[in-house]
Structure 1
Amino acid sequence: MIQINKLSKKYKGADDFSVCDLDLAIDEGEIFGLLGPNGAGKTTLISMLSSLLKPTSGHFTIDGLNYKEHKNQLKQLIGIVPQEYALYPSLTAYENLMYFGSMYGLKGQSLKNDINAHLETMGLSKFAHKKIKSFSGGMKRRINLISSILHKPKVLFLDEPTVGVDVQSKNVIMAYLKELNTLGTTIIYTSHHLNEAEQFCTRVGIIDHGTLVCIGKPKELIAQEENAEHLEEVFLAKTGKALRDHA
């Protein structure tokens, strides 16, 4: 589904590459976890794959489409759940979803029915006409997710989709994502919650200093690392224990 070849990104004025000569193939139907310390290049990589950032060099395809020649078609194939809330606080949940649905060319009763169905699944029906600014963090995360999948994307990019949410919201979000994957959506997911990633992902890649340092199924990576019992121990062995403060 995604083929990445020698992809690099160096920001203007930066001393080092944020992503450097990265090669990666992600199969259709995978839940692929992109893990790494702060500043490792995860968000930069996702931003390039979603056409928000122009690569410095290298190339990639999604579902066989080259981003240089088929940028608009690629945008129709993907959904993006950013780390920050991408919602209008002064609009209601329903108004936000109608707006984002219309951006993908959706309209009419079909869009309204889909919105109502998603709100019901996410336990938000009774809050549909409440303004986003009154929502809790977990509620905003759920609306953020709905807005990204109204157009039924083939590929869904998730950048820290459960950060700062309550346990109940996290449970609903993860169950919803598993259902989407069962229905055929390929998921690329970043998180600092390594226990969550261990249970959720079919395969993970650990990225550090813009390069991929290891890749495989969580259980296989754990088995390969001496004395490791959990993915977090693999992560620390590959990236070290030094603080990664990043601004």
Structure 2
Amino acid sequence: MSTPAEWDESRVRQLHDDLTDLHEAVESTSAHGAEGDPDPGEGVRQLVTTILSQNVADENTRRASESLFERYEDFAAIEAADQDELAETIRVAGLPNQKAERIQRALAAVREETGGAYSLAFLDAMDADNAKAWLTDIKGIGPKTASVVLNFTFGKPTMAVDTHVERVSKRFGLVPESASNQRAHEILGAVVPDELTYPLHVLLIRHGRSYCSARNPDCANPVCETYCDCEGC
């Protein structure tokens, strides 16, 4: 297994290529249009959906998101909703009261910043660090949530470190085993080339789901054989 000190841009690029050979190439799904302009409401929707996804399975996130956007006609209605009613609407996502409060707090912050619009388009003009700082200043918005919004919606080089990315990165030695999630974001943000931020994020998730699972990993694959030194290898 490599140690963090041994990882440089060249080795990260090789990891990306090896993961691509195993899992196929990743195509960008940024919400930027053909001329590079983000959909004004897409960032807010991504923000709300990512809050719903905190500490819950993808299927429950999908169900909660569908329930939310079917019940309320727009973001203003979500922000103005009775919090108990909102919590009940998204209950399947877990931690309903906490997430309802976070969603309404985030929507209020966006509306106040823009003077009334529910749009995060203003983040597109900021560099990645300042945009991430603006989002994480909202209570309940951590580096993962901010990174998802900025990378997926605006194509900014922010690596979102979810449970799969963190687990695989630590097993491969990209990140020290003792590193916090915050520190993992910082380390990967520094070593991963900007243009590989999104595809490597997706590839690490694919690898974590397909092979490098938390329990009983399947290490009989060329990527694990090259980079990993977990108990299963």
Structure with more of its chain in strand, by fraction: 1
